[in-house]
Structure 1
C-alpha cells in the first residue's frame, strides 16, 4: 500500500501526508513520521503490531521498531578472542568472521561480522606498519551468512557506522531523514550500541541496508527490479554494468542501462539531454533529490566525480544506488553513505556546481592532500540535462528551506535526537566529554544558516578558490571579506586534522597584528585514544601557480601569535619529499605566545623534525619546487605516552599576517 502515487506528485500534499502518518518513501509509516522523528526523541513512534513484543520471533518483527525505537538497542556479539584479534588486524580485508548475536537477552543466531568503510573510515585508520589508529571502525552484520533463512527484524544485513568524523553523532540521521521527508526513497537510520565479548564498542549509527529486501519493501508494486550500486549512465556497453549489480544476478540483463546511457550521450544539447533523462527518470523527483543533496552539502555523493591520477579520464562518482523497474523502463536514484554531509565548508567547493557547465570540460580540480582530482559534474550529460530547467529544483529548495531545513526545525530535531542518545554518549569508550559534545551540538545548530547560505551561493554559480600566497607581494589578507573566508572550502587552505580533533579558518580582525585583518586558525586537540603522538592539525597555504621556485629567495617573513605559549611547526610543502606523508619535511619550529611577533625564517636554517628518520631529501631541491607553507600548532598537554589524558581538550588559536618572501 502507498500513500501517494509518484505520478502527479505534490510536495505540499506529501508533506501533509507525512505528518498524517505516511513514510518518506511513499509507504504507510508503521511508526513515527517519515523523518523518523517521533516525540520519543530517538525516532519515537509506536512499533508495528507485534514488533515490540518481547516474545515475538526476531525474524518476523517489523524493522520500524528497530529504526524508530523507544530505547537504544544493544547488539551483543560473541566470538573467540583470537578471532576478534585477527578480525581487527585484518579489518581492511573486509572478510566475514562467524559471531553469535544476542539481543534483549536472547540468542538471535550465528551471523557474519566484518569491518567496512572507505578510505577515510577504514583504509586511513591504519598506519604504515598496519597499526590501528582509529578508536572505532564501522561494521557490517550479515544475518544470513550461515543460515540463508535467518533474518533480524526482517533484515538480512545491518550497518553499524562508526561516526568517527562526526563528533555530534547526528549528521547521518538528520541527512537521511531530510531525504525521506522530501519524498526521496532512502534508508532508515537510527543508533545502536554494540558489544563484543562483553566489552562495549560504544554508539554506532545504525543504517538500513539497500538490497532486494529494501526494494521489495519500498516498491511492493514493483518488487523485483534490478538494483545497481554506483553505476552511472555513461557506458553504452551492457557488460560494464554487470559488476555493479546487487540483485537478480542469475536473470538480469543490462541492455536498459546501456540504452539509457546511449540516449544521454547521443543528445547534443541540454534540452535534448533533459528529454532523454525524462524518458528514464522522474525529473521532478530528481529535482527534489538534488535540492536535498545541495542543501546538505553532500560533497561525497553523486556530484563528486573522482578522477584517479593514473588516468584522469577514468572518472566516476559513488555513494548512491540506481533501481531499475521490473519492466526495465524506469530508474530511481537512492542516496547512500551520508556521513560527510552538513559541513558548510567543504573540500569540493572549488569544483563548479552541477548547474554550471565550465568552458573547458577537460579541466580537473585538485583535492587537498590527494593526487586524485575531480571533474565538473556540469560536464556530465545527466547533470546537463537536469540543469536545463531548474524550475522544479528551485521549488523543491524553497519547500525544503521553509520546512525540514528551517532553522527552528533542525534545532528541534537536534535537541530531540541528542536527548535520546545522551546516556550512551556519556559512557562512550574513549569518547569526548559531555561538555565537548554539547559544544558540537551547538556548532551543528549554528551551521544551519551557513548551509542555507552555501546552497544559495552554489545555486548562483559560486566556485571557491584556494586562499593562495603571492610569491612577490606581502600577503596581508586585507582584501578578503569575512563572507568569502566563511565560504572557503577545506581545499588546500582550511585546516585538516586527525579524527576527533577540530579546526576552522576565519578572519582575524584584531588590528594589533598587522593592518585591519589577519587569518585566524581556531582549533581543538582531543584525545585520539589510540596511537601515541598521533595528534596533528595542519593549515596549508599554497603558492599561486604552484610549485614555486624559491631558489632566489632567502627565507620567509611573517607575523604570528597564538592564544598562549605554544610551539608552531612551519613546513615547506612539496611533492618531492621522500617521506612527506609521514610528516618528514623541511621547516622550522617557532615558540609563540599571545604577543604578536614578527619573525624571519631563513631557508638555510630549515631542518627536518628532530624525531624524523634520515631521508635523501635535499633542501636546495625542495626549495626549487615548493607548493606552499604548512602551519602546525603543536599539541600541549600530552602525557609521557604521547596522548592527551582522556577527556582533555587542548583549545587554541593561531593568527597569521604579513606573510612574504625575502
Structure 2
C-alpha cells in the first residue's frame, strides 16, 4: 500500500472540520447580489432605527412582484376570504370567510435608497380591514415583509435583514382619514411609559405586474418579536404571545406563540388565568392580588388600561379579544404590549372611562374595576396621563408635526388617488386634523368629570 501524502491528510481533515461546522457560522455566498452589504443586509448588523424609523422625514419603498405572483395572491385570498379582488364592494365589516389562516407569502424585490433586497417575503395581513379593502378593490392593502422567508429556496439570502430588521408590518391607515393614528398612538403610549412598536411613515410604490403604482402613505411598524423587545425591554428570551382570548379560561389555541415555538410551555399564561379567576378574589382580595402579581405585571396593565381608555382605543381587549401582545419578562412578569392602533383616538368608546358596565367576560378589566386598591390606582393613572401627557399643547404639537410631514405625499406633490387609497377624497384628510384636536379636548373634559 502506498503511504498517504501529508497534503491529502490535511485536506481530509479540513474537509471534516468544515462539514462539522455549525450551520449558523456558515457565511452565505452572496454572489450576484450586487447591493448586499453587512450593514444593510446582514444579520450581524445592529438594528438601525434612525434609518428605518426616521421621525422627521418620509422614506420611500418600492416593491415589485410579477403578474403571476399577483395572480397567486388573488387565488389564495379567494380561498381564504371567499372573494376575488374587487368583488363584493366594501362589505361593511369585511364579509367573506372568517379564517385565522394567514395569507401566503410571495417572493418580491424590494428597493430602498437605490439598494435592492432580494426575494423578500411579502404577504397580506389583517382580518376585517384586509377583507374590506380587498373586496372594495383598493390596492392600498395591509401587508407584512419578511426578509429571509425564502432563504431555503434561495440560500444566497440566508439571514437577510433590512438594516438589522427581520420583519416589518405595513399599515395602510384603514378607517383613518388622518393617516396618522397608527403612528401617533404608538408615540403616545411610549410618552406615557408603555412600550410600543416604533413607527415611521413611508411612501409606498408597488408593481403588481404591470408597472409601479403609487399606493400612498403607509405606517411602517417593527414587529414585536423582532428587535422591539431588546430595544425597549432589554431582553427577548421570554415567551411572546399574540392572544385571541378574553382570559376567562385557558385555551392553548388562543395564545399563538411568536417565539420559542418548539417549547410546549404555556405555564406562564395558565398561571395568570388561574390566578386572575381564582375564587379568593372576593373572599381574600389581598391574597388574590399577591398571587396575580407574582405572574402578571398588573401595575403595567392598569397603566395601559388608563391610557388606552382615556384616549379611546376601542379595537382591543374589552371590546375585541385581539390587538395586543404579551411578553414574559424575566423580572417584570407577563407584560401587556399594545398593537394595531389605527382606530384609536375616535369617539367610538366601547369601555367607559369609569369602567362601568364592563362584563365579567372581560375579567382583566372587570376585576380591576371591582377591586378597590386596583381601581384607585387606575384613577390615579388616568389623571396623571391626562394632566401630563394627553394635554392639548402636547397633542396638538404631535398631530401638527406628523400631519405636516405627510401632507405633501397625500394631496401635495404626490396625491393619494383611487383605487390606490383608502381615503374617500383629500378633503376628508384635511378635515381629520381638527377632529383629532377636538377629541383631545373632549377627553380632557371627560377626565375632569371622572377624577376632578
CA separation of 1:125/1:223 partners in 2, compared to 1, >3 Å: closer, same or farther? closer
Alignment match, 2:388: 403
**Is 1:116 aligned with 2:125?**
yes
CA displacement at 1:241 relative to structure 2: 5.6
2:49 corresponding residue in structure 1: 63
1:422 corresponds, among 404, 407, 415, to: 407
For 2:58, which of 68, 72, 82 is the aligned residue? 72
Distance across 1 between alignment mates of 2:299 and 2:76: 45
The Cα of 1:449 is off from its aligned counterpart by 1.4
CA distance in 1, matches of 2:149, 2:139: 27
User: Deviation of residue 186 (structure 1)?
Assistant: 0.9
Contact in 2 for aligned 1:140/1:160 (Cα 8 Å) = yes
**CA deviation profile, 1:590-628 (whole Å, cap 9, x unmatched):** xxxxxxxxxxxxxxxxxxxxxxxxxxxxxxxxxxxxxxx
**Equivalent residue runs for 1:598-609 within 5 Å:** none
Structure 1's unaligned 5+ residue stretches are: 1-53, 306-316, 359-375, 461-662
CA contact (8 A) 1:172 1:339 kept: yes
**In the aligned structure 2, how far is the partner of 1:135 from the partner of 1:455?**
40
Say yes or no: does 1:228 pair with 2:241: yes
Indicate conservation of the 8 Å contact 2:309/2:353, yes or no.
Answer: no
For residue 205 of structure 1, give the secondary structure of its aligned residue in structure 2: strand
Is the CA contact (8 Å cut-off) linking 1:226 and 1:326 kept in structure 2?
no
1:144–1:151 contact (8 Å) kept in structure 2? yes
CA 69–411 in structure 1, closer or farther in 2 if over 3 Å, else same: closer
Counterpart selection for 2:147 from 143, 146, 149: 143
> Hey, what's the Cα distance between the residues in 2 that align with 1:398 and 1:354?
12
1:575 alignment counterpart: none
User: Cα gap change, 1:396/1:234 in structure 2, threshold over 3 Å: closer, same or farther?
Assistant: closer
Deviations 1:417-473 (A, max 9, x none): 11111111122233555554222211211221123345567889xxxxxxxxxxxxx
| Residue aligned with 1:275, SS | helix
Task: Tell me what 1:656 maps to.
Answer: none
3-state SS of 2:127 partner: coil
CA distance in 2, matches of 1:112, 1:290: 35
Post-superposition CA distance 1:527-560 (Å, at most 9, x none): xxxxxxxxxxxxxxxxxxxxxxxxxxxxxxxxxx
CA drift of 1:62 comes to 0.8
User: Residue in 1 aligned with 2:340?
Assistant: 337
Q: 1:94 aligns with which of 82, 103, 112?
A: 103
The answer as to whether partners of 2:145 and 2:167 remain within 8 angstroms in 1 is yes
**Residue 82 of structure 1: CA displacement?**
3.1
CA distance in 2, matches of 1:136, 1:160: 10
Residue 297 of structure 2 is aligned to residue 282 of structure 1? yes
Matches within 5 A, 1:271-350: 271-272=285-286, 273-305=288-320, 317-326=321-330, 330-346=333-349, 348=350
CA root-mean-square deviation: 2.8
The worse-fitting range, judged by mean Cα deviation, of 392-401 and 108-117 is 392-401
Residue 281 of structure 1 deviates from its aligned partner by 2.8
How do residues 344-383 of structure 1 correspond to structure 2 at under 5 angstroms?
344-346=347-349, 348=350, 355-356=355-356, 376-378=358-360, 380-383=362-365
Quick check: which one's strand share is greater?
Answer: 1
Alpha carbons of structure 1 residues 354 and 94: separation in structure 2 relative to 1, 3 Å: farther
1:397 Cα offset (Å): 1.7
**CA 1:212–1:206: 2 relative to 1, 3 Å:** closer
Structure 2: gaps spanning 5 or more residues:
1-36, 82-101, 152-157
Q: Relative contact order (C-alpha < 8 Å, sep 6+): which is higher?
A: 2
Rounded Cα–Cα distance in structure 2 between residues aligned with 1:193 and 1:231: 32
TM-superposed deviation, 1:258: 1.3
> Counterpart of 2:32?
none
Relative to structure 2, which stretch is displaced further, 195-204 or 165-174? 195-204
Partner of 1:183: 193
TM-score by length of 1: 0.51
Task: Encode CA deviations 1:384-434: one digit per residue, 9 max, x unaligned.
Answer: 442322232222222221222101211111111111111111222335555
CA distance 1:295–1:176, change in 2 (3 Å): same
More helix by share: 2
**Separation (CA, whole Å) in 1 of partners of 2:246 and 2:267:** 11
Partners of 1:458 and 1:84 in 2: how far apart?
52
Deviations along 1:352-405, one digit per CA (max 9) or x if unpaired, are 66733x5xxxxxxxxxxxxxxxxx345544324423222322222222212221
Give me the whole-angstrom Cα distance separating, in 2, the residues matched to 1:199 and 1:155: 25
Q: CA deviation at 1:339?
A: 0.9
Q: How does 1:143-162 map to 2 (within 5 A)?
A: 143-147=147-151, 148-162=158-172
2:376 corresponds to which residue? 391
SS of the residue corresponding to residue 206 of structure 1 reads: strand
Deviates more, 1:390-399 or 1:410-419: 390-399
Contact 1:298 1:341 in 2 (8 A): yes
Report the Cα offset of residue 282 of structure 1: 3.2
Note closer, same or farther for the CA distance 1:77–1:458 as it changes in structure 2 (3 Å cut). farther
CA distance 1:265–1:70, change in 2 (3 Å): closer
State the Cα distance separating 1:144 from its structure 2 match: 1.5
| Corresponding residue of 2:269 | 257
Task: Please report how far the alpha carbon of residue 279 of structure 1 lies from its aligned counterpart in structure 2 after TM superposition.
Answer: 2.3
Alignment partner, residue 442 of structure 2: 450
296-305 vs 98-107, which moves further: 296-305
How many equivalent residue pairs? 367
Deviations 1:105-161 (A, max 9, x none): 111221111111121x1123355xxxx443521111111201351111211111111
The DSSP-based 3-state class of the residue aligned with 2:410 is helix
- Secondary structure of 2:173's counterpart equals coil
CA distance in 1, matches of 2:214, 2:367: 49
Give the secondary-structure state (helix, strand or coil) at the position aligned to 2:224.
Answer: coil
